[in-house]
Structure 1
């Protein structure tokens, strides 16, 4: 581990040093990105592990640039989008030179992933022919959708042993530490909702909340099954910081996801159920006593807004954000009914959903939605198979339990957010998924 850290920080320092050195020389931004990209390609060719660690940092800490837009939605490109493809091609070049290039390593997720990729491409192609989606927009969004699948394939095919997995998780948690420090500092200084770095003028608190559901679940799983006191203390301290940041996102969809995540932990953990219950009570009481009243405004007044809806003949008041989510459900379902089998194609000619499940229906129809459910089922099956076969391995069991829990949490959150297409949530999700799917084969 120390040797890996030493080599990584050398390459990371080289990237940072190059960035600032060329910046001071007033090198144009495009040339700077090209130079850093070429350097990252070289690093991925020399040692893919170090390139993947750099990607871990860039998942939440890379700037983005607005390229244009479609109706109701800005089209942005992040440095991380470029880095993933550069690392992927560097990895392919390395395998080709070493004559290791071959089929993907066999695992239970390859089939469902490739099937979902196929239906997205097929639906978008049909949509382009009948005019329900713009081909340029489709290509851009499909590349954005598929880049986290590329990350999954790279990580799963590059993993050789458990030590690698632990190093990657160490840097995932270290990145989360940096993100939480930044988000809390900015939120406390400005009074705005907590958001991750480089997310535009107004930020995306829901995105940060979804990311923190993954991190909090990871911390819980590792903490419950950690063997060292030193490790437990570190995980507990970081957990407190993550919970604080999560509260300051004021994300109601995130809160629903967090409850779903914790429920899964409570149901499937083989030990510490009483401790988990006590922990939840302590968190609820502590948060209510420590945090200022304004933090809870969005949570408390969700059902006291100016808009009203009718449920079973009874009118209920809701705020404008919740009302917009319900409208997006209705609009997407209305659009889906015109093309029920394979949808309009990705991204559905600019119809904004802001909710996961009607968006899938709108884009790829009922056939694509069933394939999406098959992919989700396959993810759960991987996690539960690990719980059965890796009972004696605390690290693997805790990580697999975390995986099941944050997947459950994101499914809950998907009722009010497009969690499964947001890159800053899906990159860490699929990175950890790749580790979990390979756990039975790691020594």
Structure 2
């Protein structure tokens, strides 16, 4: 009896801690508590919070640890971390492309992110638990919306980690026409998070599932309205496209296909209120058309100026008549696309070529690649990449067990199918963003995936 009481107490502590994570991770700005000497890694409040929750979860789950380790998903995750650790050893001892302690810190951080999956998957015990966390998720979106309004119109501080200097916790202000980040570390993180949660809000709205005493349509409409405003003001082109894909899939899964054109049209029309998003789509459209047609337009050109190398000895006066000023070469480029194609992606491919099987180790290809697949290949090679893909194969093989969806859908089924629908959008985002390395998104992603994994087990019990 005493052991049972102790386990129930631990369960309550872990569930409370998981709720705290659900609010703290997306809403608390990324202020660094301190930096680890000799690295660019900063320790933040979220790290301590996850550590505390993980400690109590370990005590709670210890009697069942053998059962957890026997599951295919657990073995896949362990395999991924074994291969990635071997990659670190190879990078440290063979290719010598990383600082060992820095690579290990990046490895531990990824363990931290994925650990949240197992905590969530083992804490969810009933439909009421899922309903509770969905309500919390809506509150998170609404609070992020309120802070986003404050950033845009009241000059509330922007805390971002999009470059090394800003990651020190420097408070900025929103620039009109820029990207809104709200409480997230960057607009890409925010937009990717919304790609994950907005399909759920739409499904709840169209299915009218009960969530306790509150009216589901009102709750879900608040989530849709606030989340969509944040999405269009984040002004991420790829995330908006991913959102349309994910929401459409979610509506197909719940047999609400007739509403897809309505949702898409309304979304596109309302997206027109964000001049930043419209201008970014217009820019890439103009660049593409003019490049194909060979039409020059100075408004969208980058000009390559003539550059002279520094000379040795005393500088000599250049005669004006030596040579005429060369005509600037017009280059049709979208800035972010150009950086990816010409700098970041080739750098990842060069890293892969050095060690195709194991890559050059975590942290070896600087802070950003803007393609999570190429980053994986460059850092941990083909073996690490395949191990990571195996995790999702195992996950999907479990999640699809909710199909076929009955006419009278349960909350756990609705939640799980929306996560399945959101995954293609997330994978699409990963083509242009390092989203699985962005801590706020990555932690919330594995959190919500863990809830879906538990939801499948609930469906099994009721069928």
Q: TM-score by structure 1 length?
A: 0.79
Q: How big is the shift at 1:215?
A: 1.6
Rate the CA distance shift 1:70–1:417 in 2: closer, same or farther, 3 A.
farther
Matched with 1:274 is 258
Q: Which residue of 1 aligns with 2:104?
A: 139
Secondary structure at the aligned position of 2:261 is classed as helix
- Aligned match of 1:92 in 54, 58, 61? 58
- CA–CA distance in structure 2, aligned partners of residues 250 and 198 of structure 1: 14
Aligned pairs for 1:216-255 (under 5 A) are 216-228=198-210, 230-255=215-240
The more displaced of 382-391 and 106-115 is 382-391
Give the CA deviation at 1:348.
Answer: 2.0
Q: Distance in 2 between matches of 1:431 and 1:243?
A: 21
Does the CA contact (< 8 Å) of 1:386 and 1:400 recur in 2?
A: yes
Which residue of the partner structure matches residue 115 of structure 1?
Answer: 79
CA contact (8 A) 2:429 2:435 kept: yes
Inter-partner Cα distance in structure 2 for 1:390 and 1:360: 38
Find the counterpart in structure 1 of residue 419 from structure 2: 403
User: Equivalent of 2:339, from 304, 324, 333?
Assistant: 324
Matched with 1:67 is 35
Match of 1:177 among 125, 139, 142: 142
Does residue 193 (structure 1) correspond to residue 157 (structure 2)? The answer is no
Question: After superposition, where does 1:298-337 map in structure 2 within 5 Å?
Answer: 298-303=280-285, 304=287, 305-306=300-301, 317-327=332-342, 328-337=344-353
Task: Determine the structure 2 residue equivalent to 1:156.
Answer: 121
Q: Taking structure 1 as reference, are residues 415 and 101 closer, same or farther at Cα in structure 2, changes over 3 Å only?
A: closer
Count, aligned residues: 384
Larger radius of gyration: 2
Q: Secondary structure at the match of 2:75?
A: helix
> CA offset at residue 394 of structure 1?
2.9
**What is the DSSP-based 3-state SS (H/G/I as helix, E as strand, rest coil) of the residue aligned with 2:113?**
helix
* Higher deviation after alignment, 87-96 or 49-58: 87-96
Residue 82 of structure 1 corresponds to which residue in structure 2?
48
- What is the alpha-carbon root mean square deviation over aligned residues? 2.7
Tell me whether 243-252 or 158-167 shows the greater mean CA deviation: 158-167
CA contact (8 A) 1:187 1:193 kept: no
Native 8 Å contact 1:105 1:157 kept in 2: no
Shift of 1:287: 3.1
Q: In the alignment, which residue of structure 2 is the partner of 1:127?
A: 91
CA distance in 1, matches of 2:187, 2:117: 25
Q: What is the deviation of 1:432?
A: 1.5
Deviations 1:317-370 (A, max 9, x none): 232122112231122112211211111111225363122111010011111212
For 1:440 and 1:179, locate their aligned partners in 2 and report how far apart those are by CA, in whole Å.
29
Contact 2:233-2:276 at 8 Å conserved across structures: no
Deviation at 1:158, TM superposition (A): 2.2
Residues 248-276 of structure 1: per-residue CA shift (max 9 Å, x gap)? 0111232232233234335x424110112
Give the structure 1 partner of residue 327 of structure 2: none
Cα contact 1:68–1:76 (8 A) shared by 2: yes
Unaligned residue ranges in structure 2 (runs of 5+): 1-8, 155-173, 288-299, 304-329
Query: Which protein is richer in helix relative to its size?
Result: 1
Q: TM-score w.r.t. structure 2 length? A: 0.76
Other-structure match for 2:275: 293
State the partner residue of 2:169: none
What is the distance in 2 between the residues matched to 1:91 and 1:78?
A: 20
Q: Work out the CA distance in 2 between the residues paired with 1:292 and 1:263.
A: 22
Q: Check the 8 A contact 2:302/2:333 in 1, yes or no.
A: yes
Preserved CA contact (<8 Å) 1:70 1:350:
no
